[in-house]
Structure formats: C-alpha cells, structure tokens
Amino acid sequence: MWDLRWVLLGLGALVVVGVYLWSRGILSRKLLPVLPRLKQRTEPSMGGEPPPPDPEPAPLVATVSEDERARPGPDRIVALRLVPRVDELPVEQTVTVLRNAGLEHGRYSIFHRQLGANLEGFSVASLTEPGTFDLDNLGSGSIAGLSFFVVLPGSGDPVARFDAMVETARALSVELAADLFDESGSSWSSQRERYVREELIEYRHQFDRR
C-alpha cells in the first residue's frame, strides 16, 4: 500500500509540472525534437553531369512567438496532494465535491477557485495522467487522487491563496477519506503549514519590493 502511495505521489509531482507547462505552451514548444537533416543520395548517371540532388528537407523546428519568449515563468509552485486511504476516488463523486467546494471546471480542463474578481486562487488537477477532468465521459471511472496547487506570483495575495487552498484541501480530505501530503511526499502537518506560510509572507514582501 505504501509503495503504491509513493508512486502516486511521484506521479502527482509530474502531473502538476506537466499541467503548468502545458498551460503556458512550454511543453509542446521546448520538448519538440529538432530532426537532423538527411543527406540525399545522388544516383550515378551514364555520362554528362549528374542530376542535382533533391533539396534537403527543412528540419522540424517549433516556432516561438515574441510574446511567448517574453512571457515570464513562475517564481514558485506550492502544491498539496490528496491521496485516498483506500483504493481510488470515484471521479463522479470527486467532481461533485469539488463543485460543492466552490471550484469551477475551466481552463485546461481542470478545476479552479478564484478569490474575487480578477483575483486568482488555486487550481486542482487529477493525479491520474494527464491530470484533466473530461466531464463528458466521467462514467464510473476513478482517479488516484487530487493535486492542489498555487502558481506564483499570479494575481492576488499569495498568502490568502495558500490559506484558501489548505482550507479547501483539508475539508475535502475529510469528505473523501483521504490524507494530505506536501510536494516532497511528507505528511502535511500544522508545523509544515506554518513554515510554508512564513515563506510566502517573506515572498510577498520581496515581490512587493520589486
């Protein structure tokens, strides 16, 4: 059971990073390989000049717009993972619980919670790859758990966003009979929560001075 749980936690980290990179268009751009050019074989001819070689194919290179180059990356991603104590989470029940908690299914097919008009809150992805929720095909499927995350800086107070994420994750862990873990796979504790919160207060001060 614990071996499986560590595997799920590891996959959860990849899901969070994958969802974020996909959301910013980085995954498809930077991981696309550049194919080497292939030399064209020139067939010998019976007298005269050999025919010119066929033109070399252009390499497959992803283009990046100026806006994408200028788009800043995240300073930090703060994540929590919710892993069920037994088996997996029924996806239909999980979607209902997320909606009852005030989250909305939206961009990138994951759930989001805003803290006000034009103020970001936090997001929730599935721990089952690719991390999205296909609301048209929920059926009787199940997922390995949930990944709650805040991408900073974003808009809104980072401490308020973190507090809202933790409060929601705690409530859902009770409702879904699950445990909470931090990004390193350690059990979420009050001490860990205070430590991260103090880091975010300092982060807020540093960001305000930029």
The verdict on residue 74 lying in a domain is yes
pLDDT tens per residue, range 129-142: 999 999 988 888 99
pLDDT band per the 50, 70, 90 thresholds, residue 6? very low
Q: Which of 47-51, 58-62, 113-117, 200-204 has the highest mean pLDDT?
A: 200-204
| pLDDT at 110 > cutoff 80 | yes
How far apart, in Å, are the Cα atoms of 70 and each of 67, 120, 173, 181, 208?
A: 5, 21, 39, 34, 21
Do 83 and 4 contact (CB within 8 A), yes or no? no
The verdict on residue 43 lying in a domain is no
Helix (H, G, I), strand (E, B) or coil at 128: coil
The verdict on residue 55 lying in a domain is no
The verdict on residue 52 lying in a domain is no
Do 37 and 59 contact (CB within 8 A), yes or no? yes
Distance CA 8, CA 88 (A): 11
pTM above 0.85, yes or no: no
How many domains are there within the chain? 1
| pLDDT at 14 > cutoff 80 | no
The verdict on residue 149 lying in a domain is yes
pLDDT band per the 50, 70, 90 thresholds, residue 52? low
Q: Which residues of 126-136 are buried (b: 16+ CB within 10 A; e: fewer)?
A: bbbeebbbeee
The verdict on residue 40 lying in a domain is no
Compute how many other C-beta atoms are within 10 angstroms of the C-beta atom of residue 104: 11
The verdict on residue 14 lying in a domain is yes
Identify the domain containing residue 90 by its residue range: 2-24+68-208
The CATH code of the domain that includes 117 is 3.30.1400.10
The verdict on residue 153 lying in a domain is yes
- Give the torsion sign (CA, 134, 140, 144, 148): positive
